[in-house]
Amino acid sequence: MAKFMITGGKKLEGSVRVTGAKNSVLPILAAALLTTKEIVLKDCPDLADIEKVIGILRAVGSKVKREGSTLIVDPSTITTWVIPDKFVKEIRSSIIFLGAMIARLGKAKVTYPGGCEIGQRPINLHLEGLKKLGIEVNDSYGYIECYAPAPMGAEIHLDYPSVGATENIILAATAAHGYTIIRNAAKEPEIGDLQNFINAIGGKVCGAGTSTIIVEGKRPMRGATHTIIPDRIVAGTYLTAAAITGGEVLIENVILDHIYPVVAKLRESGAIIKSVGSAVLIKGRDRPLPIYHTTTLPYPGFPTDMQAPLMSLLSVSSGTSVMVETIFENRFKHVPELIRMGANIRIDGKTAVVQGVDSLRGTTVTSHDLRGGAALVLAGLRAEGQTIVENTYHIERGYECLECKLRSLGAEIEKI
Ligand code: UD1
């Protein structure tokens, strides 16, 4: 198992470019199945999660080729309506193929994705939404089988603005007769990217970024070239890396609006952040200030994916901060690891109280999930001495060569 070995204490300096958003690439690769014509996707990072989704496309009979950061998909052939179990177990966002396969074939079969490192992650909202479109959903022995002889547009109110459910319903609705209206839809920027992609191939979706999305179904689809939006969580992670080391870094390829909730919090911690065209310049304080209160919320609230990285920063701040995690029930697994490094954090249910300490000490810690793993790397950049972060594969799911990019900013980090 690979590990990161980090010698802390270096202030990060220089510039780094943010890659395309993993959470956009995943649903857009599924959406490629809505057409039979060639799709070219630009700025797709080389990540384990994306490779797994490419594996699904290949397993169902489509062709995918990578040329640098460009993916070329030939979705003209589909040979099965069953998404192989092994992929669903490896990457739970493969559930998004349900909507895409229903739209393309009128049927789909997938095993229940189940929970993961950060929580139970039910899919009731996905399935209830699909049923409203007239899709027959059968639950049989751990499998979900969907049949859609003639899906009909419908008005769907989501009890919670789930990102995945919104995406799945949009995908299935492209094949429904008439219009589908999704109310209380998720507003995350990745949904806007999915909308733009579907419209580029001939679909008609509007409203992404608001809580009401309208999809016109049954439109003829074509091929297209589409560039993926920058990854707001990767951008937020580099911003926090600069802030925790008191460094000065230019983060390139950023949409400021998308990362504003993170920028606002980092400014509260005393970092100076300026927008420079499509880049953001950050200068961190030697000792971050505490942040009185942060609550994770659906977009445009503070993202749950940035909770762990921000907690590393708070752990070396000059006072007490409170962090409330409202999205996922099991997303504090980095906390015991930060405590091993000398952090002073108490958890009570969904709330973490972080009493900033003067310094963290390097030790061996284990990454239990993607963003928690990134948080431990950030803590290692600040800590005295050497930190070893085990299980880098979690981190590699979402960050393209994190160690190379941090090294280019002056960090001492090796993968061993
Ligand atoms: C997506 C992101 C993930 C991010 C999350 C929240 C991808 C591939 N992943 O995950 O990185 O952390 O949004 O911003 O884009 N829920 C239900 N029933 C459902 C669906 C969801 O109760 O049918 C609950 C979940 O358990 C969770 C909350 O809704 O508590 C939010 O989940 P959701 O927005 O669906 O997240 P994902 O799409 O899985």
117 vs 210: CA distance, rounded Å: 30
Ligand 1 close to Cβ of residue 331 (< 6 A): no
Count Cβ neighbours within 10 Å for each residue of 211-249 and write b for 16 or more, e otherwise: eebbbbbebebebbebbbbbbbbbbbbbbbbbbbbbbbb
- Tens digits of residue pLDDT in 318-370: 999 999 999 998 899 999 999 999 999 999 999 999 999 999 999 999 999 99
Query: In percent, how much of the chain has pLDDT > 90?
Result: 93
Is 313 in contact with 269 (CB distance < 8 Å)?
yes
For residue 89, what pLDDT is reported? 83
Ligand 1 atom at shortest distance from the alpha carbon of 125: 23
302 vs 264: CA distance, rounded Å: 9
State mean pLDDT over 385-412.
97
Question: 402 to each of 4, 10, 80, 116, 117, how far by Cα in Å?
Answer: 10, 16, 36, 23, 21
Q: How far is the CA of 67 from the centre of ligand 1 (A)?
A: 31
Q: Confidence class of residue 1 from pLDDT cuts 50, 70 and 90? A: confident
Ligand 1 close to Cβ of residue 308 (< 6 A): no
For residue 142, what pLDDT is reported? 86
Ligand 1 atom at shortest distance from the alpha carbon of 303: 14
* Residue with CA at minimum distance from ligand 1 atom 9: 23
* Residue with CA at minimum distance from ligand 1 atom 26: 121
Q: How far is the CA of 24 from the centre of ligand 1 (A)?
A: 14
State mean pLDDT over 190-214.
98
Secondary structure E strands in 158-278: 179-183, 204-206, 212-216, 224-227, 248-252, 272-276
State mean pLDDT over 368-390.
97
Ligand 1 close to Cβ of residue 127 (< 6 A): no
Ligand 1 close to Cβ of residue 271 (< 6 A): no
Ligand 1 close to Cβ of residue 122 (< 6 A): yes
Ligand 1 atom at shortest distance from the alpha carbon of 22: 8
State mean pLDDT over 290-299.
98
CATH of domain 3-19+230-415: 3.65.10.10
Strand order in the sheet with 136-140: 107-111, 143-147, 136-140
Q: Which of 131, 135, 132, 130 is nearest to 147 (CA)?
A: 135
381 vs 12: CA distance, rounded Å: 9
Tell me if 3-19+230-415 shares its fold with 22-227.
yes
Ligand 1 close to Cβ of residue 119 (< 6 A): yes
The pLDDT mean for the chain works out to 96
Task: For ligand 1, pick from 52, 121, 125 the residue to mutate: most ligand atoms within 8 Å of CB.
Answer: 121
* Residue with CA at minimum distance from ligand 1 atom 38: 164
CATH of domain 22-227: 3.65.10.10
Q: Where are the domains of the chain?
A: 3-19+230-415, 22-227
pLDDT at 88 over 90: no
- Tens digits of residue pLDDT in 109-130: 998 886 678 878 889 999 999 9
- Where in the sequence numbering do the catalytic residues fall? 116
* Residue with CA at minimum distance from ligand 1 atom 37: 164
Q: How far is the CA of 93 from the centre of ligand 1 (A)?
A: 9
Q: How far is the CA of 57 from the centre of ligand 1 (A)?
A: 22
Task: For ligand 1, pick from 94, 163, 399 the residue to mutate: most ligand atoms within 8 Å of CB.
Answer: 163
pLDDT at 212 over 70: yes
For residue 139, what pLDDT is reported? 86
240 vs 236: CA distance, rounded Å: 6
Secondary structure E strands in 277-385: 279-283, 293-295, 320-324, 344-348, 351-355, 364-366
For residue 114, what pLDDT is reported? 67
Containing 86, the helix (H) or strand (E) segment is helix 85-90
Is 354 in contact with 323 (CB distance < 8 Å)?
yes
Three-class DSSP category at 203: coil
Ligand 1 close to Cβ of residue 164 (< 6 A): yes
Ligand 1 atom at shortest distance from the alpha carbon of 120: 26
Q: Any idea which of 118-127, 223-232, 287-296 has the lowest mean pLDDT?
A: 118-127
246 vs 9: CA distance, rounded Å: 10
Secondary structure E strands in 107-241: 107-111, 136-140, 143-147, 155-157, 179-183, 204-206, 212-216, 224-227
For residue 115, what pLDDT is reported? 66
Q: How far is the CA of 138 from the centre of ligand 1 (A)?
A: 22
- Tens digits of residue pLDDT in 13-56: 999 999 999 999 999 999 999 999 999 999 999 999 999 999 99
Q: Confidence class of residue 140 from pLDDT cuts 50, 70 and 90? A: confident
